Chain A
Amino acid sequence: MKTKKLMALTMAAVMGASLLTACGGGDAGTTTAAAGGDESGIQPVTITFWHGMNNKQEQSLTELTNKFNAENEYGITVELVNQGSYSDLQTKLMANAAADTLPDMAQAYNNYFTDYVDKVVALDDFVKNDYPDWDDILESYRTENSEYGKITGVPFNKSTYLFFYNKTMFDELGLTAPKTWDDLKHIGEVIKEKKDLAAIGYDSMCDMLEAALRQHGEQYVDETGALFNTAGGLETVQFIMDLYNNGYARLVGEDNYFSDSLSNGMIGGYVGSSTGVSYISTDIPGKEFELGVAPVVGDVKNAAYNAGTNLVMFSKDANKQKAVWEYMKFITSKESTLKWAMDTGYLPIRTSAYESDEWKNFMAQDITAQAAYEQSPYGFVSKASFTGSNEIRSVVSTTLNELITEKADAQTALDTLVAAINDVLE
């Protein structure tokens, strides 16, 4: 984390200096979608796309891209460039933003470009003039991509947090997947008593906190600071601390992911990314079990945390912008998003794709897809378009871990969390 912060500081300094020297240069540095929506006459061109997809995900992306390259009528060639993991991609984009050598397009979370959002091409005109069914894209993704006051991207590899559990154990104890906070407490009690195990764990503590707050009808964080220093916020934190203090939930520790614990029968279930299902082994000798997947619980409301990156455009050249847009339209089409989702375990980004026969057939065999579909109306995306949002994620996770280890009471936990978040933003 320290590395990123230092680099961001350096970048801010470098970009500040370049602003000074470019004073009289007019608006050369600001990119606007001058070509927005005018798809006529795209000249043959090669565009560069930086991504952080590996293994079967990269394979599927390559297949889709090859299809686009072969079939588009304009002679557009999309060149895929693998930049390692998300964090490597983020670093690489940051450095190239400072050097003004960004690729034509890239995968990105909103918090990657808080420092250089002016270099992200606004897609509003493209969407308005040349995207027939924008409303078909799930609302939480549209909201996420409009956070900066302009449309900064189109949704791409989207996942959601689901409850993965040991169905064999649940059946044996007469339990079913929890739907409410009360169910969760009950399951915690039973599994603690009968098996002396924790019933639940969360792969990501900060996402868990935000989801719980939203389930309780509260708000989490925005650029002004923590928003949950309220009675409802205290109740939420109380609920969380009770889970841990009673031994119904436990922390992940050095493993980073609960998939290994679940595979070994060491926990009842856990909340983790829908893409993590391939890391769960249900066939370790002597520990075989049937896997269950369910939507995450709700309280006064349902709220499920959605994750995954969007595709953003950096190209300044009008012709290239139009070419990138053609590719973005292709990759977010119903057909592409379906293939992508079935190949990789990510989720479709369109309502029409969710409701298609192909997806229904797929869901019949895929319990993860089914659970994701069930909770898709409740999906939300964490606000990440303000400076500090990235750091808040790590600060909240670390603070929660410490509070749980110390078995803090709810009021202390709430005060500590609020103070830690507000510290970041000051």
Chain B
Amino acid sequence: MQTQIGAPKQKLSFSDPKVRAWLFQIITIVAVVSLGWYLFNNTQTNLQHRGITSGFDFLERSAGFGIAQHLIDYTESDSYARVFVIGLLNTLLVTVIGVVLATLLGFIIGVARLSPNWMINKLATVYVEVFRNIPPLLQILFWYFAVFLTMPGPRASHNFGDTFFVSSRGLNMPAALAADGFWPFVVSVVVAIVAIVLMARWANKRFEATGVPFHKFWAGLALLIVIPALCALIFGAPLHWEMPKLQGFNFVGGWVLIPELLALTLALTVYTAAFIAEIVRSGIKSVSHGQTEAARSLGLRPGPTLRKVIIPQALRVIIPPLTSQYLNLAKNSSLAAGIGYPEMVSLFAGTVLNQTGQAIEVIAITMSVYLAISISISLLMNWYNKRIALIER
């Protein structure tokens, strides 16, 4: 028997891993492409038989329906493209409000779960276990149908100091309108922020050179208050408030947050906060007790121990899962379709799809919007994560 140990293989053989790899990949690509082609073909025939013309021309046409909440001007004669923008803005509004509130509430509850106080600890645990085990859509429907819609009408609304009114029409609150001093005020805030950045740089430099600490936080706070306050004294108040007034059966003036928006943000905040609380708790617990002891033995007081040793290390554990919670919140804002809050899915994939019948285009646009939001949030968070990540040897 002759063997060819080490001899280069010339022939194409199925037992050669490289050949097999090529073969498998070619088969996969052919399968994917032919599946896509098959679906595309079917769709073409189906569309032809149903007499639907594909394309994005429909976006130019006039929509002809009213929208309950729009952040930019809108009339019924405006185009579907404008409807799309309104839906997108409403989605972003809910997402931003939800992210801010859920983070605040989540951090408070997460810290409360670690509290040595037994009562606070147990209350926080009950909160987390109750709210994360109930579907978000159910919570939205509950807040909307069982809480806000059963509230009394505007004439019997819950009155909070004659400025905030909660009724079945939503939350009426004073509107902030730009007054004479508005632009100078904006400029003064920018100036204050620049001053704070400069001050922090100077303080850091001095600290590294001499070791003398500087009260950056208090000095910054003082700058942030004093400069805009001086400006407001000189140029007059930046805003004037327009109070909501009961006239006839409804409120006039002021801003109104519609009950759909309230129910949605409330439910998403409460639901997401339960998850964020767990993330915060596990993040803080992941920093070993030795770190605290080491910091204390170096002579750090409890405050700086927390700020300079515990939190920076905990954040590394907290940030990645926190990102995915933010993404979930953005995606869960689509549950508004259940109560008809006019955001991307209920407005665009719901109403516009029904009116135009352009299923493929509408769904494709909607999905790409969410994909874009997901990808941009995760890119942003990856960048931040890289910045704070532990640099190991």
A-B complex is real? no
Where the two chains meet, the residues of A that have a C-beta atom closer than 8 Å to any C-beta of B are none
Where the two chains meet, the residues of B that have a C-beta atom closer than 8 Å to any C-beta of A are none
